[in-house]
A and B are shown apart, each in its own frame.
Chain A
Amino acid sequence: MAETLTSISRFNSDSVIKEKRNTSKVASLDCVNYHYTTTGALNKDYAYSIELMRLGVRQKLNNQFHLQNDLIEIDFLVRNPEILTVVFEIKDAIIKEFGASEIALDLQSESVNWETLFIVVSTDAVWEKANSFINLLFKRLFKTQPEVANKVNLIIAPDAI
């Protein structure tokens, strides 16, 4: 993902703009509207760069998660691309442990300095099973990727969503 985002940021967006303007998906997104309301070339490039990064994250997520607030979670992952890989690893572990479950991403922002991306699992699993899973997951995460552990969390509960 990091490689994709780097190549996006280096990309000359003008060629993409011409190409993407003809596609309804991109033309309907917020940042493109932002472009049409501004005249500065810098703003145009910035808006398209952000939009391309959003598209990159959205493509990577590939509809495998329900997004509670859509753009809020996408933008958090644009700002924190290192989390994307971990989110998929956690999802795979959840499916392996609890079977097919509905999994959502929900960014909780209590203040500027307290933002956490919650992976929310709807399951009828008993507390004991969820308990050992959460403890093992964070034990590994804090030892291997403490910065990521600080930014993600997990809710496994019978009435999760």
Chain B
Amino acid sequence: MQFDPRTLINVSRDLTTGNSQAHLRSIINRAYYGVFGYLRNELLIYSEGSSVHRDVYETLIRSVSVNKQIAGKRLESFFVKRKEADYKHNLTFHSSSKEYYIKEAEEIIRLYNTPDDE
């Protein structure tokens, strides 16, 4: 059975029991890759290089569906936050933001799967 990247969001939720910077940064990272991996599979994008994030984003914002375009913009913002969580070690992430990124991942998936008229 093929791996469902959305289960990474469950792992992100499991990590909310911790409050360390490592936990908070991992929550953002796992939540991002949960939604990104899901959309990449849905859009049948099979590239694996660093440009794959851009490929997914551009495919979404070029969609005729406004909801998918919005999902693309929100994924782009999430990509920036994920990079900060992974690479900007001078930043401090607050424990109050734990649920924020999990909800963000779930909202992007909801937008992607919701027709414009709903």
CA distance A142 to B70 in the complex (A): 8
A116 and B100 form a contact (CB under 8 A) = no
Q: How many residues of A contact B (CB 8 A)?
A: 24
Chain A contacts with B in 136-159, Cβ cutoff 8 A: 138-139, 142-143, 149-150, 153-155, 157-159
B66 and A158 form a contact (CB under 8 A) = no
Does B51 make an interface contact (CB < 8 A)? yes
Q: Residue B73 contacts which of A124, A149, A159 (CB distance < 8 angstroms)?
A: A149
CA distance A118 to B91 in the complex (A): 18
Chain B residues contacting A142 (CB-CB under 8 Å) are 66, 69-70
Does A3 make an interface contact (CB < 8 A)? no
CA distance A110 to B99 in the complex (A): 27
> Given A114-B54, A131-B107, A153–B77 Cβ distance below 8 Å?
yes
Chain A residues contacting B51 (CB-CB under 8 Å) are 111
Does A127 make an interface contact (CB < 8 A)? yes
CA distance A157 to B81 in the complex (A): 9
Chain B residues contacting A153 (CB-CB under 8 Å) are 73, 76-77
> Given A114-B54, A143-B66, A150-B61, A159–B97 Cβ distance below 8 Å?
yes
Which residues of A are in contact with B by a Cβ distance under 8 Å? 108, 110-111, 113-114, 116, 118, 124, 127, 131, 134-135, 138-139, 142-143, 149-150, 153-155, 157-159
Q: List 9 A-B contacts (CB under 8 A).
A: A110-B53, A111-B54, A114-B54, A114-B57, A127-B100, A134-B70, A138-B73, A155-B80, A158-B96
- Top 8 nearest A-B pairs (CB, nearest first) are A158-B97, A138-B70, A127-B103, A159-B94, A127-B100, A114-B54, A142-B69, A155-B77
